[in-house]
């Protein structure tokens, strides 16, 4: 009974995070259309950053309040869910076309980001006793800035040589008044949601006898990834492969470079060596995603491959909870 109130408040916080992220994404996407960004760039940057905000808000609030154990587990769990479940479900709805630029730049960037936190968390560079500290956080932020610079640098070329489907819909442009209103609502929703989630996740971890990193890897990661799931499903229903794949790839890259980078500036992030198993699974998920692109006809993730990815996520969750 003592866990019911924190659980209710946690769920309420997730609802506020999802609504806030959705409002903020709508407003930010409208700004992107006004700035004449391509759908792929909007997915990789604006939509991806907006859907990564729940992870950012939860991590920042948790670190400020002295509960950094959630941070790394939240990101590993979210990124694994993005690849296996979100791409899998999206592909089952409508096969996902993967552009050449994503194969050359975004998928390799995801591998590099995962490798970076693996080496940092295991003291490969500095021997900081199983933590990611502020110096390594700065390195992550610089790598993220480099990725964003390359992405926007190629924007004009992407616009000229768009590889999106003929059935793809252009992201909606709203009037400035509605754009600003959505942005403000989004910020308020994210703040309230961040407060509720960060306050109650630790209470549930204690009451359930689970570590903060495990709660972050499973419960918190699943909930904070719901905006990515909803965004990609809607994009798949509209046959907009650029937004669906761009949202997932961009969100995963920003989760590591930006979210973990900012979190580690606040407080050193502790890393449980048992989480190396989940990092290996995340590497495997990236490899499976890349393999699906090159199997079959064209550069597509088919419906059958979507089923395989989704089943892989079910196995990941069972393994994580069992451990």
For 103, the token pair is 């194969």
pLDDT at 296: 65
Rounded CA-CA distance 121/275 in Å is 10
pLDDT at 166: 44
pLDDT at 266: 92
For domain 4-161+171-322, give the CATH superfamily.
NCX, central ion-binding region (1.20.1420.30)
Q: Which helix (H) or strand (E) holds 29?
A: helix 4-34
Where are the chain's structural domains? 4-161+171-322
* Per-position pLDDT tens, the chain of length 323: 466 888 888 889 888 877 887 787 788 778 878 877 776 677 666 766 776 778 888 888 888 877 787 888 889 999 999 999 999 999 999 898 888 878 888 899 999 999 999 999 888 766 555 788 899 999 999 999 998 888 777 655 554 444 444 444 556 677 888 888 988 888 888 888 878 887 787 677 767 777 777 778 887 888 778 777 877 887 788 787 777 788 788 889 989 999 999 999 999 998 888 889 999 999 999 999 988 888 767 788 889 999 999 999 999 888 887 76
| 47 CB-near residues (< 8 Å, 6+ apart) | 25, 28, 29, 231, 243, 246, 247, 250
pLDDT at 125: 64
pTM (two decimals):
0.79
Beta bridge partners of residue 96, listed in sequence order? 301
pLDDT at 154: 67
Rounded CA-CA distance 258/34 in Å is 25
pLDDT at 85: 93
pLDDT at 127: 57
Rounded CA-CA distance 70/270 in Å is 9
């Amino acid at each position: 009974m003592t866990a019911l109130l924190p659980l209710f408040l946690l769920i309420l916080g997730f609802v506020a995070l999802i609504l806030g992220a959705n409002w903020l994404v709508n407003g930010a996407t409208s700004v992107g259309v006004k700035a004449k960004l391509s759908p792929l760039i909007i997915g990789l940057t604006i939509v991806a950053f907006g859907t990564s905000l729940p992870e950012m808000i939860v991590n920042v609030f948790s670190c400020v309040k002295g509960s950094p154990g959630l941070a790394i587990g939240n990101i590993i769990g979210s990124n694994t869910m993005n690849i296996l479940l979100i791409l899998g479900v999206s592909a089952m709805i409508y096969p996902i076309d993967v552009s050449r630029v994503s194969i050359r730049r975004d998928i390799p960037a995801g591998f590099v980001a995962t490798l970076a936190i693996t080496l940092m968390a295991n003291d490969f560079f500095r021997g900081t006793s199983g933590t990611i500290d502020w110096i390594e956080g700065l390195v992550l932020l610089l790598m993220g800035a480099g990725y964003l610079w390359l992405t926007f640098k190629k924007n004009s070329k992407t616009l000229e040589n768009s590889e999106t489907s003929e059935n793809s819909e252009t992201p909606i442009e709203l009037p400035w008044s509605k754009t600003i209103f959505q942005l403000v609502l989004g910020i308020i929703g994210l703040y309230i949601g961040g407060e509720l989630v960060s306050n109650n996740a630790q209470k549930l971890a204690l009451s359930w006898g689970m570590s903060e990193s495990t709660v972050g890897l499973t419960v918190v990661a699943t909930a904070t990834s719901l905006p990515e799931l909803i965004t990609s499903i809607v994009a798949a229903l509209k046959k907009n492969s650029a937004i669906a794949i761009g949202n997932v790839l961009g969100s995963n890259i920003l989760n590591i470079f930006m979210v973990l980078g900012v979190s580690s500036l606040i407080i050193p992030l502790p890393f449980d060596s048992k989480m190396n198993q989940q990092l290996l699974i995340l590497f495997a998920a990236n490899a499976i995603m890349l393999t699906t692109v090159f199997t079959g006809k064209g550069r597509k993730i088919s419906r059958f491959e979507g089923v395989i990815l989704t089943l892989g996520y079910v196995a990941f969750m069972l393994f994580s909870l069992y451990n």
